[in-house]
């Protein structure tokens, strides 16, 4: 595949994540593609490289997508996916629907005249909107090397990509990185609130919280040190940071709660 070139794509769903992926593909040069989304706001994404239709029946028979990207809400999968059975056996399906298994997606799509659907299941996260996402993907049976490489390219447009050989890993991945941005945003929210309660003006409180979280993330990304080592480097014995951490880490509160949530999610 030529560098800076994204082949024709059929995007199903133009919500937050679908739109983020679309923006990334456009930056790399998107060949004329189609998207399906009945929401009126989706029409604003149309351009010379993308036609938006409200119904899959409006997609021309001659359109041959290199990939069908499933970016609809998981709860809508059963009603949405059967309409794309005509592409099964002709292309690869890349799903970013949380919690929907490869087997379940294949059953919903059904076998096409050209054969069963080749499916890659992936779990991105919301930093994809600024091309800083992390996605873990798993290829189902029947996905060939060319199709896997294409899916890797499509996902790299929104950040870092890693591959898992076992699909079962995608559930704990969802708990850690898929839901993870919410945990970080909660930390920033609570830091901002605490600053305001201590008398810091709201604008300054927000700046302090956001820059501390984003700056710490940038340091973590740039460093080869373990997160624990970076934490310890900030923590002078007997200092204020050590005192704060003694409260936050009492009886391993954070560790036990995060582990508990991850285990519960993986059993859902």
Helix (H) or strand (E) holding 231: helix 227-234
Helices and strands: H and E segment counts in the chain: 10, 8
- Is 52 a domain residue? yes
Q: Mark whether 133 and 190 lie in a shared domain.
A: no
Task: Decide which of 173, 191, 210 is a domain's last residue.
Answer: 173
- Is 1 a domain residue? no
Q: Mark whether 258 and 164 lie in a shared domain.
A: no
Q: Mark whether 156 and 190 lie in a shared domain.
A: no
- Is 2 a domain residue? no
Return the CATH number at 118.
Answer: 3.40.50.720
pLDDT digits (tens, 9 = 90+) for 167-194: 999 999 998 999 999 999 999 999 999 9
**Full-model pTM:** 0.89
Q: Mark whether 160 and 191 lie in a shared domain.
A: no
Give the CA-trace dihedral at 49, 44, 61, 143, to 10 degrees.
70
| pLDDT (0 to 100) of residue 250 | 78
Return the CATH number at 199.
Answer: 1.10.3730.10
Could you identify the residue written with the tokens 């890349």? Answer: 94
Q: Which is it for strands 33-36 and 50-53: parallel, antiparallel or unpaired? A: parallel
Q: Which is it for strands 133-139 and 118-123: parallel, antiparallel or unpaired? A: antiparallel
Q: What percent of the chain has pLDDT over 90?
A: 84
Number of domains in the chain: 2
CA distance 33 to 16: 18
More confident residue, 265 or 193: 193
CA distance 112 to 95: 17
Average pLDDT, the chain: 92
Q: Mark whether 152 and 82 lie in a shared domain.
A: yes
CA angle, 59 as apex, 16 and 161 as ends, to 5°?
A: 40
CA distance 155 to 158: 6
Give the structural domain span for 248.
180-266
Task: Decide which of 153, 173, 193 is a domain's last residue.
Answer: 173
Q: Mark whether 139 and 205 lie in a shared domain.
A: no
Q: Mark whether 109 and 185 lie in a shared domain.
A: no
CB 68 within 8 A of CB 91: yes
pLDDT digits (tens, 9 = 90+) for 107-158: 999 988 888 999 999 999 999 999 999 999 999 999 999 999 999 999 999 9
pLDDT band at 2 (very low <50, low <70, confident <90, very high): very low
Task: Decide which of 108, 141, 173 is a domain's last residue.
Answer: 173
């Amino acid at each position: 595949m030529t560098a800076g070139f994204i082949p024709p794509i059929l995007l199903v769903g133009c919500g937050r994540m679908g739109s983020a992926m679309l923006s990334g593909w456009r930056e790399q040069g998107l060949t004329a593609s189609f998207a399906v989304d009945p929401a009126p706001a989706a029409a604003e994404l149309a351009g010379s490289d993308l036609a938006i239709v409200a119904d899959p029946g409006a997609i021309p028979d001659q359109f041959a997508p290199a990939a069908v990207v499933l970016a609809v809400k998981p709860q809508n999968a059963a009603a949405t996916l059967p309409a794309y059975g005509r592409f099964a056996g002709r292309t690869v399906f890349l799903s970013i629907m949380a919690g929907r298994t490869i087997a379940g997606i294949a059953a919903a799509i059904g076998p096409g005249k050209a054969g069963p659907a080749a499916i890659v299941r992936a779990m991105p996260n919301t930093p994809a909107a600024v091309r800083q996402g992390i996605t873990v993907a798993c290829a189902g049976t029947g996905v060939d090397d060319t199709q896997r490489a294409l899916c890797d390219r499509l996902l790299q447009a929104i950040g870092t990509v890693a591959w898992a050989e076992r699909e079962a890993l995608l559930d704990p991945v969802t708990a850690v990185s898929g839901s993870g941005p919410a945990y970080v945003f909660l930390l920033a929210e609570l830091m901002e609130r605490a600053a305001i309660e201590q008398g810091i003006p709201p604008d300054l409180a927000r700046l302090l919280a956001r820059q501390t979280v984003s700056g710490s993330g940038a340091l973590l990304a740039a460093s080869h040190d373990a997160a624990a080592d970076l934490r310890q480097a900030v923590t002078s014995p007997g200092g204020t940071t050590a005192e704060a951490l003694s409260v936050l880490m009492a009886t391993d509160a954070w560790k036990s709660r995060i582990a508990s949530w991850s285990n519960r999610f993986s059993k859902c």
